[in-house]
Copies of this chain bind each other. A is one copy, B any other.
Amino acid sequence: MAAASDRPFKLLVLPGDGIGPEIIRETLRVVDWARNAGLRIELSEALAGGASIDAVGAPIAEDVVDQALASDAVLFGAVGGPKWDHLPRAQRPEMGILRLRQALDLYANLRPAVCFDELLDTSALKPELIRGLDILIVREATAGVYFSLPRANEVDADGQRRAYDTQAYTEAEIARVCRTAFELARTRQRRVCSVDKANVMETGALWRAVATEVAADYPDVELSHMYADNCAMQLVRRPDQFDVIVTDNLFGDILSDAAAALTGSLGLLPSASLSGLGKGGNSRGLYEPIHGSAPDIAGQGVANPIATILSFALCLRWSFDRADLADRLERAVRQVVSSGVRTPDIVEAGVAPVSTLQMTDAVLAALDA
C-alpha cells in the first residue's frame, strides 16, 4: 500500500443502486474536504450491483474487480432492488459485494455498533442500557458457509430435492481474523469475546481452540468465549458487557445486525472490510454503510448520508493512514447530530427534516468551523 508521500491513494467508488448514488454523491463532497486538507486521492468510479447487471449482465464486471485490486480502497454505496429480486442467487446484486470480499481478501469485516446518544429515543431498548454503547463486531468474511465447497441443490434418485452447504475453516483463516480483533481491542477496552457453537459444530470447536491460542500472544487483552445463541440473548439483555466480538461469517452476519439494531442508530452506522490491519493505517479496505439500498426512497434526495460519510472516516483511518482526519470527521458528524439536524429517518416530532444535501452541508460546515 502507498504512503501519502510517494503517490496518491487510489479510491474506487461503487455507488450501486437505490439510494447508493445519492449518498455517494454527497460523500464525495467530504472526500473533497479531505483532499483540500492535503490528502492526495485519485478517484475512479464504476458500476456494481443491479446497475452492473443492467449494463454488463453481472453484479460486478471482472475489470471492476481488477480495478478494485489496483486500488487502496473501495467506497461502496448500496446494492439491490425489486427489479433484480427474481434473479437466481448467483446473478443477484449482492453477489457483487461477496465477489469483492473474496477477490480482495477482505477477511475482517468491522461492524461498529455505536449508539448516538442524541438518538437514544429511537432505540427499542431502554436508554440506560445503551447510552454510550460502543461494540465492535469483527466478522470473518471470506470463508465459512458463504464460500466453502461442496455445496449444491440436487434431486436424488427418487426425485426428492436435497440441498447442502459446507462451512469450512482452516486454522490460518481463524487465526488472522482473531489477530485483527485482538489488535483492535488494544485500541479499546482490551476485551475480546469469541463467539461460536463449539458445543455443536466442528468448526466451532476449532474456532474456540485457535482463538485461545492467538490470545496467548495478547496477554494484555482478556478473552472470553460465548455460544452464538447466548450471545444473541446477551446482546439484548446487557449489551454493554461487550467490547470486541469476533466471530465467523454467518454468526457475524446475524449478530452484527442484531447489535446494530440495538443502538437505534441504524441509518448512521458504517462498516469496513479489511484485508487485515496494515502497518500504520495502510490496509486495503472496502467501506460501506450497513443499511441497504432503500429503493422506496431512492431518488428523492432524503436518504441519510451519515453512514456513508462515516464509512469514509473509517477509510481515512484504516486505508489512508489519516487517523487525524478520521477523528475530525467523526467529531463533526457527532456535532451535527447533537445540533439536531435530522434527515427523515431519524427525525423527531416537531423537527423539520433536512435533505441528503443539507445534512452533508451541515457536516462540511462543522468541519470548517
Stretch at the interface among A40-48, A229-237, A275-283, A357-365: A229-237
How many of A's residues come within 8 Å of B, CB to CB?
Answer: 62
Q: Is the CB of A206 within 8 A of B153?
A: yes
> Is A148's CB within 8 Å of the partner chain B?
yes
Do the beta carbons of A206 and B255 come within 8 Å of each other?
no
Chain B residues whose CB sits within 8 angstroms of the CB of A224 once the complex forms = none
Of A1-9, A64-72, A168-176, A330-338, the one touching chain B: A168-176
Residue A146, interface by CB 8 Å: yes
What mask results when residues 231 to 267 of chain A are scored 1 for a CB within 8 Å of chain B, else 0? 0111111110000000000110111111011100010
A200 lies within 8 A of B146 (CB): yes
* A303 close to B (CB within 8 Å): no
Interface string of A193-235 (1 = CB under 8 A from B): 0000111111101110110000000000000000011101111
In this assembly, does A183 line the interface, its C-beta being within 8 Å of a C-beta of chain B? no
CB atoms of A168 and B162 under 8 A apart: yes
**Interchain CB contact (< 8 A) of A125 among B125, B238, B254, B260:** B125
Tell whether A145 pairs with B258 under 8 Å between CB atoms, given A124-B125, A126-B124, A170-B160. no
A201 with B160: in contact, given A206-B153, A254-B254 (CB under 8 Å)?
no
Bound: A151/B168 CA distance, A: 9
A87 CB to nearest chain B CB (Å): 11
Q: How far is the CB of A132 from chain B (nearest CB, A)?
A: 15
Contact B124 A237 (CB under 8 A): yes
Contacting residues of chain A (114-162) with chain B, CB-CB under 8 angstroms: 124-126, 129, 145-146, 148, 151-153, 160-162
* B228 touching A254, Cβ below 8 Å: yes
**Best-surrounded residue of A89, A198, A250 (most CB of chain B within 10 A):** A250
Question: Do A160 and B151 contact each other (CB < 8 Å), given the known contacts A124-B125, A199-B89?
Answer: no
Q: What residue of chain B has the Cβ atom nearest to residue A173's Cβ?
A: B162
**Residues of chain A whose beta carbon lies under 8 Å from any beta carbon of chain B:** 89, 92, 94, 98, 124-126, 129, 145-146, 148, 151-153, 160-172, 197-203, 205-207, 209-210, 228-230, 232-239, 250-251, 253-258, 260-262, 266
Apart from A161-B209, A164-B166: 19 A-B pairs, beta carbons within 8 A: A89-B198, A98-B200, A125-B126, A145-B201, A151-B201, A152-B202, A160-B172, A162-B169, A165-B166, A165-B167, A165-B168, A197-B250, A232-B232, A232-B258, A236-B236, A237-B261, A237-B266, A251-B254, A254-B254
